[in-house]
Structure 1
Amino acid sequence: MVNFSPDKDIPDLSGKVILITGANVGLGRESLHQLAKHNPRTIYLAARSKAKADQTIKEINDTLPDTARSTIRFLECDLTSFDSIKKAAKTFTSESDRLDILMNNAGIMACPEGLTNEGYEVQFGTNHVGHSLLIKLLLPTLQKTAKDAPTGSVRIVNLSSAGEQLAPKPDGIKFDSLKTPNSGGLSTWTRYGQSKLANVLYARALAKRYPEIVSVSVHPGVVQTELTRGPLASYGSWLYYPTKIMAALFCKSVAQGALNQTWAAVAPVAKQEGGQGVKNGIFYHPVGVAGKDSGLAKDEHDVLSDKLWEWTEKELKGQEL
């Protein structure tokens, strides 16, 4: 496990541009706060609600020196809507000529059955498809940045989860039923696992195809965040408060939970096999621990990650700025 302290281990980020989805609450907000302390040129807070984002920006700015208070910008982005994602990407590329860190932090967990605007199962559509479109639209900017930046410094960080182990066996992803509300009868937790497995596999697929960009996935640990409200409520009123108390006792704090994704965004690249640092395509448990993937996530011959890449490319065909 890596010993990582944001205040001393995040390097100077002068000139760098960062985009974090879902950064108005929880792990994304904490990551934004820690990165904002280290002089980035701009951090884009991508979220659906301007009111919530503005409140977050105000609260974080109140903790920063005056010179750093103009670095955080709101970027409206609803990951359940291709139109919203394309509008966000168009706004970003009109304002910024570079992108050093794309942290795909937003997500939903164990929610009721539903579909995104384009008809994808809502957890898979939000956690994987929406982020994949955002990545696709921002890849030219990431590639352009990587040409002139230090080797390995341009990053894509996908927030996944150890919940990837809940993905349906033996397939991992039920491709034929991703456009149904329950993915062919899967439980809400299995659908969540399927989407989180996709986050791991897609980072690996990106690393394989775009080696100049370091693409990784991370598990934050078991953290008590806004994400747990829906699942807690699903237990019913008589179990809600006991479960909430247990979560408070045994879950990590948000500050602890954000360490892994913040480390993955800024740590040096591993210079040799087995060396400390970030390695392209790897799934990390906290903090910086590799090798805890499920068998499906390890995908040793890239069979599932290649299939996911091809499926995603087909689904996103024609979606351009």
Structure 2
Amino acid sequence: MAAFDPKRDVPDLSGKVILITGGTAGVGAGTLLELARHNPSHLVFTGRNAKSAESMISQIHSSSTSAGPSSPPKVTFIPCDLADLSSVRSASEKLLSELTRLDVLICNAGIMVVPPALSKDGYEIHFATNHLGHALLTKKLLPLLQATATATAEAGPGRGDTVRIIMVSSAAWRGTPPGGIVFDKLKTKQEGLPFLGRWLRYGQSKLANMLYARELAKRHPEILSFSLTPGVVATGLVKDSGWADKALVYATTWRAMKTPEEGTHNTLWAVGVDGRDVEPGAFYEPVGKVSKMESKASRDPELGGKLWEWTEGELERWM
């Protein structure tokens, strides 16, 4: 099988409205740049840095124009801090006021192995940013995604251009505290975890991404929901980490380390692949391979449901 080539393997995206979180840097920025070359109707991205967003929009316009389309796609930046649920709610409401359809939601933004901290709303910072913020964004945008799915099905029943939610997780979801998710400690800094506790806190949030995608697929089959890992990518998340964490990553994964461009490939595949070729709720490794990775937590038949109910309860006041 030939290696994935975005220029060849991402189809024409005419008419598509695509939203990606964390589009101002790293894999998110690279994904945006490549998507712009495939003629989408509208690209929307979120982030915390408006100055970086302005630069990103300029790059998209110049890059997409030089790549072939007669005109660059419409591009919109929406400020959003995923660790602040009031910011997520405001961003969601702005999106709902401006968009009439949404074909693809890519929950891409995230933080990795940061020091112990609480979010503005009092949650462990990895879990708040990587899971809870994305879950609120998804819940708020779900009616728009459902309406788009209905319109898409009516326009072309049986086609593979399904509306989809893509949760960007990580292979690190296999490394978690005992039980996978420590629900009674999610409103603490979880400083009591053993050696490398920062990795366990990160892994817990990435397990939540994978499980939440699985639950979305079960509960909302009208939308194609699944998760993936971009692989181990040499972006700022790795380069800006402490020397010990950086050494650990490079020592254990140096043969599999991907360039920032290669790190976009699995997400680009997920956006463009025929929906009939995707297993709802599955976790995909690069590029487009259903993962066989399992852990005791991921095999727990009740854990996904418990995460869903906990998340619903925590987000109720933000709806």
The TM-score normalised by the length of structure 2 is 0.90
Amino acid in the other structure paired with 1:284: Y
Query: Counterparts of 1:33-48 in structure 2 under 5 Å?
Result: 33-48=33-48
Note if 1:201 corresponds to 2:211.
yes
The DSSP-based 3-state class of the residue aligned with 1:111 is coil
Aligned to 1:259: 265
Cα deviation for residue 70 of structure 1 reads: 4.7
Aligned to 1:316: 315
Amino acid in the other structure paired with 1:6: P
Amino acid in the other structure paired with 2:185: S
Aligned to 1:123: 126
Aligned to 1:61: 61
Amino acid in the other structure paired with 1:311: W
Aligned length: 308
Cα deviation for residue 13 of structure 1 reads: 1.3
Aligned to 2:226: 216
Q: Is the 8 A contact 1:177 1:183 kept in 2?
A: no
- Provide the rounded CA distance (Å) in 1 between the counterparts of 2:221 and 2:256: 38
Go from structure 1 to structure 2 and tell me whether the alpha carbon gap of 1:286 and 1:192 turns closer, same or farther (over 3 Å shift).
Answer: same
CA RMSD of aligned residues (A): 2.4
Go from structure 1 to structure 2 and tell me whether the alpha carbon gap of 1:183 and 1:157 turns closer, same or farther (over 3 Å shift).
Answer: farther
- Provide the rounded CA distance (Å) in 1 between the counterparts of 2:269 and 2:2: 9
Note if 1:175 corresponds to 2:183.
yes
Deviation larger for 64-73 or 199-208: 64-73
Go from structure 1 to structure 2 and tell me whether the alpha carbon gap of 1:284 and 1:278 turns closer, same or farther (over 3 Å shift).
Answer: same
- Provide the rounded CA distance (Å) in 2 between the counterparts of 1:68 and 1:101: 21
Aligned to 1:154: 163
Amino acid in the other structure paired with 1:221: G
- After superposition, the C-alpha distances for 1:288-309 in whole angstroms (9 at most, x for unaligned) are 11133322464363x1100100
- Provide the rounded CA distance (Å) in 2 between the counterparts of 1:62 and 1:148: 32
- After superposition, the C-alpha distances for 1:57-83 in whole angstroms (9 at most, x for unaligned) are 212222121744352111111001111
Q: Which runs of 5+ in 2 are unaligned?
A: none
- Provide the rounded CA distance (Å) in 1 between the counterparts of 2:137 and 2:296: 25
Cα deviation for residue 2 of structure 1 reads: 8.0
The DSSP-based 3-state class of the residue aligned with 1:37 is helix
Go from structure 1 to structure 2 and tell me whether the alpha carbon gap of 1:278 and 1:300 turns closer, same or farther (over 3 Å shift).
Answer: farther
- After superposition, the C-alpha distances for 1:145-174 in whole angstroms (9 at most, x for unaligned) are 0001146610100110110111123x0000
Amino acid in the other structure paired with 2:272: V
The TM-score normalised by the length of structure 1 is 0.89
The DSSP-based 3-state class of the residue aligned with 2:115 is coil
The DSSP-based 3-state class of the residue aligned with 2:38 is coil
Deviation larger for 118-127 or 283-292: 283-292
Cα deviation for residue 249 of structure 1 reads: 7.6
Aligned to 1:274: none
Q: Is the 8 A contact 1:36 1:68 kept in 2?
A: no
Query: Counterparts of 1:1-321 in structure 2 under 5 Å?
Result: 3-65=3-65, 67-150=70-153, 153-169=162-178, 171-182=179-190, 184-185=192-193, 187-231=197-241, 233-235=242-244, 251-270=257-276, 277-296=277-296, 298-299=298-299, 301=301, 303-320=302-319
Cα deviation for residue 234 of structure 1 reads: 4.3
- After superposition, the C-alpha distances for 1:181-228 in whole angstroms (9 at most, x for unaligned) are 126535100000000000000000000000010111001111101111
